[in-house]
């Protein structure tokens, strides 16, 4: 009986502890106008166009400012895509009264230019990326030759990278990082 009472008291104590509160913000930093839908959906009508909102996501709470993806800013992408209503991701966060140094973590979903190019805009952030994602781009995707952009990513995040491994779930301040697959277009990009 004592064990039951002790267990109930422990459960009640745990339930009474305040849970961290997180806020999630979608931050639009650009628009790619008139993008061919066939570039997104295999077999789609090539004449069909759509405007694509370029977004980064801020998860704010429990003393952390976590960006999900980091956007892009390098000249090569500006020249290639001509984004409208562009704001550098490190400046777009100012709308939420944040500076680049305030970002504690950046979670890169996958190494496409529009998701990972801006990782170095946030100098104090720990960079979170799946180990398999970097290995794929360092090997299989480029036939063993590390693409210049991915080489820059690997060098720049040395010491700041926190890669995920098969089966790791990695709890981080009550935010769970879970394993997922590579982006569906990755293999097409490597061809």
Adjacent-strand bridge partners of 55: 28
Q: What is the mean pLDDT of residues 15-33?
A: 89
**CATH 3.40.50.300 applies to domain 19-190:** no
At 15 the pLDDT is 66
Q: What is the mean pLDDT of residues 1-10?
A: 69
What does the mean pLDDT of the chain come to?
A: 79
Adjacent-strand bridge partners of 43: none
Confidence of residue 188 (pLDDT cuts 50, 70, 90): very low
pLDDT digits (tens, 9 = 90+) for 65-77: 999 999 999 999 9
Confidence of residue 189 (pLDDT cuts 50, 70, 90): very low
Phi/psi-derived region of residue 147, left when phi > 0, alpha when psi is between -120 and 50, beta in every other case: beta
Phi/psi at 160 (5° precision): -115, -10
Q: Which residue has the tokens 């040395």?
A: 158
């Amino acid at each position: 009986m004592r064990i039951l009472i002790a267990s109930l008291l422990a459960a009640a104590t745990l339930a009474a502890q305040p849970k961290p509160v997180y806020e999630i913000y979608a931050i639009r930093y650009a628009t790619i106008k008139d993008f061919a839908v066939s570039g997104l959906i295999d077999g789609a009508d090539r004449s069909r166009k759509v405007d694509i909102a370029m977004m980064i996501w801020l998860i704010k709470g429990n003393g952390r400012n976590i960006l999900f993806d980091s956007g892009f800013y390098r000249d090569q992408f500006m020249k290639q895509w001509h984004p409208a209503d562009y704001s550098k991701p490190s400046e777009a966060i100012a709308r939420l009264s944040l500076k680049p140094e305030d970002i504690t973590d950046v979670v890169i979903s996958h190494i496409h230019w529009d998701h990972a190019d801006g990782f170095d805009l946030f100098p104090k952030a720990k960079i979170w990326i799946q180990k398999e994602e970097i290995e794929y781009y360092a090997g299989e995707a480029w036939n063993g030759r590390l693409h210049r952009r991915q080489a820059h990513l690997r060098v720049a995040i040395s010491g700041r990278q926190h890669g995920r491994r098969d089966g790791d779930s990695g709890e981080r301040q009550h935010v769970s990082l879970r394993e997922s697959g590579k982006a569906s277009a990755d293999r097409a990009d490597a061809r």
